Copies of this chain bind each other. A is one copy, B any other.
Amino acid sequence: MSGKPQGRASARERLLAAASELFYAEGVNTVGIDRVIEHAGVAKASLYNAFGSKDELVRAYLRARHATTRERMTRELEARYATPAERLVGVFEVQGLSFTDPAFRGCAFVSAKAEAQPGSAADEAADEYRSWVHSLFFDLAQDAGAHDPKLLAQQLVLLYDGAGIGAWMDSDPSAEAAARNVAQTLVSAAIARRPSQ
């Protein structure tokens, strides 16, 4: 990734960008190869040369999205909040930023998993994402000194998923605020005593 700084807009990058747009907007199975290469302005051979198969293109799309999400979350959390406890709640605020985006179509990994065959590249990429989500909450819960970090993380993941589903399926961005409020309660209760250290 971001290997040799040779050309400016490589075919692989244009393919990934096009795949990202189309796959997320319309679904992985709905969008055919031809649409992707047309949108990327790239030859079909370049796609198979760079990715080998549509399945691998899907995996690359999900991995790229995972990386973007992860970096954005990390960056925003560090910039906005100081303590682990604040960041545990802040996750929801950062998550909610995308809910008002007109291009928002729900969690890409939920949608991908819904369309994927078990064991496929998409399935695996979704699992990778899920394990990141869990560790995001778990690590913060530990750093915050929660009594039962595993339990707190599980509870917050519930709310995180619920907010994403609600904002998507009900077209209701207020799911973020609702989830954040409940999260605040759970976090406060879980780290009662000794707010510092």
A→B interface (CB under 8 Å)? 26-27, 29-30, 106, 109-111, 113-115, 117, 126-127, 130, 134, 151, 154-155, 157-166, 168-170, 174-175, 178-179, 182, 186
- With A114-B111, A115-B30 given, is the CB distance from A158 to B179 under 8 Å? yes
Which secondary structure characterizes the binding site on chain A? helix
User: Is A155 in contact with B178, judged by CB distance below 8 angstroms?
Assistant: yes
Given contacts A29-B29, A159-B159, A182-B158, contact A114 B114 (CB under 8 A): yes
Complex Cα gap A165–B157 (Å): 10
**CB-defined contacts of A113 to chain B, threshold 8 Å:** 106, 168-169
Q: Of B27, B159, B168, which contacts A162 at CB under 8 A?
A: B159
A162→B169 CA distance, assembly (Å): 13
Q: Which residues on B sit within 8 Å (CB–CB) of A155? A: 178, 182
B29→A115 contact, CB < 8 A: yes
Within 8 Å by CB of A106, from B114, B134, B154, B174, lies B114
With A161-B166, A175-B154, A182-B155 as given contacts, are A110 and B114 in contact (CB-CB < 8 Å)? yes
Q: Are B130 and A158 in contact (CB under 8 A)?
A: no
Pair A158/B157 contact, Cβ less than 8 Å: no
